[in-house]
């Protein structure tokens, strides 16, 4: 940590300004990523609630929104990667050996705490998303099993009766008498 402080003190004023600008931009990108991850959590929670309420007709719309959020996250990941590259270049460090967490050690003193807090919150959000996805997958499988069991119970009762084939089509001849037949 002392080496990083000494390295920052040896930088020119313009290099320090460039590094500070890049860290500010990095905080902004990480904040935006956190907002999108929170939106993703909300959408997965919505999908879970709709699944429990057996309102599957809206799930398609929710999954379209989830796809849009994931595309936005992908674009932000590219922006974050570029900013990390800019910061490491401005610091004179090797681009491919430094992680975002390690880059915090080189951050200006005022940026360290916000960056650490953002990294922690991002990690928590990703963990929550994985849990929601897993729970949602289990719910969908359970729901499909329930539907399959219900169909299995209905098929013999309906399709096994005289006059119906295995596809549910009527095979018996229909009688001409009907309660709506007024010709008699």
As a whole number of angstroms, the distance between CA 126 and CA 121 comes to 9
Contact 123, 37 (CB under 8 A): no
More confident residue, 178 or 126: 126
What would the mean pLDDT of 89-95 be, rounded to a whole number? 78
CATH of 2-159, picked from 3.30.70, 2.30.30, 1.20.58, 1.10.3470, is 1.20.58
The 10s digit of each residue's pLDDT in 128-159 is: 999 998 888 888 788 777 777 777 776 555 55
Please give the pLDDT value at position 164: 57
Contact 69, 40 (CB under 8 A): yes
pLDDT of residue 180 exceeding 50, the answer is no
Q: pLDDT grade, residue 18 (50/70/90)?
A: confident
What percentage of the chain carries pLDDT values higher than 90?
28
Q: Where are the domains of the chain?
A: 2-159
Contact 87, 15 (CB under 8 A): no
Mean confidence (pLDDT) of the chain: 80
More confident residue, 1 or 121: 121
What percentage of the chain carries pLDDT values higher than 70?
75
């Amino acid at each position: 940590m002392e080496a990083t402080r000494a390295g920052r003190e040896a930088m020119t004023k313009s290099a320090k300004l460039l590094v500070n600008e890049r860290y500010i931009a990095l905080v902004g990108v990480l904040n935006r990523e956190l907002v999108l991850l929170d939106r993703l959590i909300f959408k997965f929670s919505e999908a879970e609630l709709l699944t429990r309420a057996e309102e599957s007709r809206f799930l398609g719309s929710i999954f379209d929104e989830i796809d849009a959020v994931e595309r936005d996250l992908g674009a932000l990941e590219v922006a974050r990667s570029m900013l990390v590259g800019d910061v490491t270049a401005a610091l004179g460090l090797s681009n491919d050996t430094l992680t975002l967490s390690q880059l915090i050690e080189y951050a200006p003193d005022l940026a360290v705490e916000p960056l650490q807090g953002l990294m922690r919150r991002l990690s928590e959000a990703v963990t929550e998303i994985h849990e929601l996805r897993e729970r949602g997958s289990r719910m969908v499988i359970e729901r499909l099993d329930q539907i399959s069991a219900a169909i299995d119970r209905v098929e013999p009762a309906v399709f096994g009766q005289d006059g119906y084939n295995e596809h549910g089509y009527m095979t018996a001849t229909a009688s001409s008498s009907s309660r709506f037949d007024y010709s008699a």
